Structure 1
Amino acid sequence: MKMKTILTMFAAILFNALTGAVFGTAVGVSPVVGAVGANAIASLVGVAFPQGALRAGVLKEIWTGEMVKALRAGLESSWLDGIPDQSSIVNNDVIHLVEVGVDPDVLVNNTTYPIPLQALDDKDIAISLDKFQTKVTPITDDELYAISYDKMSRVKESHANSINDSKFQKAAHALAPQKNTAKTPVIATTGDDDGTGRKRITRQDIISLKEKFDKLRVPTQGRRLVLCSDHVNDLLMVDQKFADQYYNYTTGKIANMYGFAVYEFANNPYYSTAGVKCALKSTTGYQASFAFYTPRVFKATGSTKMYWSAAETDPEYQRNKVNFRHYFICMPKVADAIGAIYSAGTSTEGKISADPTTVSIPAEGGSQEVTVTASGDYTVGEAPAGFEVEKTASGVKITAEENATGSPKSGTLTLTLDSDGSKTVKVTISQPQKGA
């Protein structure tokens, strides 16, 4: 042990000496002075450097190989396990499904001949897999030489995690129905107010969804319910039996409830308080729980390709560049045997508001964001003359070009709640003339 320590110290001193000599030569100082100076500095500030390479006089962040990664939820996809996988029949990142015709009618105690003909028409359905692409990550040669961890492995892992985040979230969104229909039940929660204007989920709500599936004649074997975090927390607070089942789970599957195999997922889709599914990645309204019948849905994985350009081909910046493209899809085969439980608002009155309600665009042109808070989906009215309006995830973006018309411009933009046309908010827009 003592001999190992001596050898380590000797190696560190030698490293310092060589580094100091090279540095001294580069700046016009005697190599001997550089070597002695490097070891002197290392001995003074050695406590600030990592163990093992200590006394080497190299900054800690250069040699510490430990990476602090971003927190992320949504990489758990156990609820996708067991869904029929059709990857083997994917061709050119397109999958072909067959929609079969109706089942033949059955004649009971028939006495009429010949028996009537009944054709069973089958249809081919071609479905293109979703394409997931990451943005390009540049990695300079300087980075690769200066760091102690495997930068390329870290970049590949980060790209893979980002793609998984997106494809699992897209799958959850696709398996949740758009709105309540005869074959796709969407029901509201009926519990107490959670303090934010949201009604909590109850066991009775899950029973109500079960009744809907029963009436649709959905077989009990293969039913799955994927709870959002809000609904899991609701049940944990009021249901001791659920809490016992939850804390015993190990693979993302909680326990069976009323015929559903129950899972939890962090990136479930959002629904408006009117029970309509919001756009992918929207955070308007509240997250919902969704249910499906596994034989009625499918998943398929296509090709994955890494795109790469080496630093040798980029003499100006001397950087490598990398990104990935991946094909995957998960969706219902037909729009039935899927359902959802969304969080209802405690107020039955529709609400919509905007901040700010007065917008002034500079004469030179520009844009301004308006945050819209609404209890459900809303419609953006016609933009005033000379202005453009774009709906965003958080509200609307108002844009105008340079005003060289010789007179100021102004107008009013109206936003209307879809569930109640009487609920509106108006945004006054203006722009002075150039030179005024």
Structure 2
Amino acid sequence: MSGLKKEVWINQLKERFYPDSSFLNYVKDFSALVDNDALNLAEAGIDPNVLINNTTYPIAVVKREDTPIRIELDLFETENSLVRRPEAIEYAYNQLESVIMGHRNVLKATTGAKAAHAYAPDENTVDTPVIQTTGEAYKGRKRMSFEDILYLKEYFDNANIPLENRFLVLNPAHLTDLISFDIKAFKSITDFVNGQPNRFAGFGMLQFSKTAYYDSDLKKKAFASVPMDGDGFCSFAFQGDEVMKADGDIHMYATMDDPKERAAIVGFDKRFVALPIRNKGIGAIVSTNA
């Protein structure tokens, strides 16, 4: 396969990888800082003190000690696809899209789930509140209520999280809870107005289905672990300047004219990472067992 043809396949995979409704459009993008599939950053040292009505001079000089950090991007690999009559597929958009769609969808879902898990706090702290739902009992759990969102807002306020760029990513079951509670108030809560998500209680409202799980002690479960009895799914919140993503290289593997299969075999790699920046300005609302 010539470089130009392979580039066409890769560009098709990249096209609209983050749709307008994706929560990953509202975080800090560090992709430009990626070098050799890694981020080389520095953890900022302690901020200076502020002196009020100072009478002692000279004022102390304190050197800020930044700590270098290297973050390797995760490697996401798709299983290979067997493509019949590759010459026709390379140039027919509809056929090409049908092949690329499967790879794009699984990469988009998996990287999104990894980011959603990373942005959900590990546990409840002042800077990373994790609260439980308090609504009526429904199918063995307590529904999310609008009061729960107000409680989370109050926790963010108390932690001095900036009011701007706050977002709440609702698990679809929690969105259903809100609509069931008041269909007139919440039926369009995740719609977009002038290209921006609707806001409620200071949060831009988004949704994503693959959110993290917490155990009964409100400790976050490991990524991709199997939920157990007593575990609860969450909706998660973040302040856009406190979380990041970074996209690295996308590579295509291809075997053309395989003599055994009489076809082409293709697969993709994608480098990606998403993390909280300071472990602050993130939160979660966890479904409680009824």
Shorter-normalised TM-score: what interval? Answer: 0.7 to 0.9
The correspondence of residues 243-262 of structure 1 with structure 2, limited to 5 A, is: 243-246=186-189, 249=192, 255-262=198-205
Match of 1:287 in 2: 233
Task: Give the secondary-structure state (helix, strand or coil) at the position aligned to 1:295.
Answer: coil
Question: Quick one: structure 1 residues 153 and 262, their matched pair in 2 at CA, closer, same or farther if it must change by over 3 Å?
Answer: closer
Match of 2:124 among 180, 185, 189: 180
Match of 1:158 in 2: 102
- The alignment status of 1:242 with 2:188, answered yes or no, reads no
**What is the TM-score when the length of structure 2 is the normalising length?**
0.83
Task: Write the distance in 1 (CA, Å) between the matches of 2:235 and 2:105.
Answer: 23
- Give 5+ residue unaligned stretches, structure 1: 1-73, 347-436
- Give 5+ residue unaligned stretches, structure 2: 1-17
Match of 1:205 in 2: 148
Task: Write the distance in 2 (CA, Å) between the matches of 1:247 and 1:94.
Answer: 34
Q: 1:278-311: per-residue Cα shift (whole Å, max 9, x none)?
A: 2223451332100011011111111111100112
Match of 1:302 in 2: 248
Task: Write the distance in 2 (CA, Å) between the matches of 1:164 and 1:77.
Answer: 13
Letter in 2 for 1:134: T
Task: Write the distance in 1 (CA, Å) between the matches of 2:104 and 2:63.
Answer: 47
Task: Write the distance in 2 (CA, Å) between the matches of 1:180 and 1:219.
Answer: 19
**What is the TM-score when the length of structure 1 is the normalising length?**
0.57
Q: 1:298-334: per-residue Cα shift (whole Å, max 9, x none)?
A: 11111111100112xx333433211000111221112
Please tell me whether the aligned partners of residues 134 and 288 of structure 2 are also in contact (alpha carbons under 8 angstroms). yes
Calculate the aligned-residue CA RMSD, in Å.
Answer: 2.7
Question: Quick one: structure 1 residues 321 and 233, their matched pair in 2 at CA, closer, same or farther if it must change by over 3 Å?
Answer: same
Higher Cα Rg, which structure: 1
Letter in 2 for 1:323: G
Match of 1:33 in 2: none
Task: Give the secondary-structure state (helix, strand or coil) at the position aligned to 2:61.
Answer: coil
Task: Write the distance in 2 (CA, Å) between the matches of 1:327 and 1:208.
Answer: 37
Task: Give the secondary-structure state (helix, strand or coil) at the position aligned to 1:310.
Answer: strand
Task: Write the distance in 1 (CA, Å) between the matches of 2:34 and 2:192.
Answer: 34
Q: 1:227-269: per-residue Cα shift (whole Å, max 9, x none)?
A: 1111101110112453253385479965211111111112222
Task: Write the distance in 2 (CA, Å) between the matches of 1:307 and 1:193.
Answer: 50
Q: 1:362-397: per-residue Cα shift (whole Å, max 9, x none)?
A: xxxxxxxxxxxxxxxxxxxxxxxxxxxxxxxxxxxx
Query: How many pairs are equivalent?
Result: 268
Please tell me whether the aligned partners of residues 79 and 252 of structure 1 are also in contact (alpha carbons under 8 angstroms). no
Question: Quick one: structure 1 residues 244 and 138, their matched pair in 2 at CA, closer, same or farther if it must change by over 3 Å?
Answer: closer
Match of 1:87 among 31, 37, 40: 31
State the structure with bigger RCO (CA 8 A, min sep 6), 1 or 2: 2
Letter in 2 for 1:301: D
Q: Percent identity?
A: 37
State the Cα distance separating 1:114 from its structure 2 match. 2.8
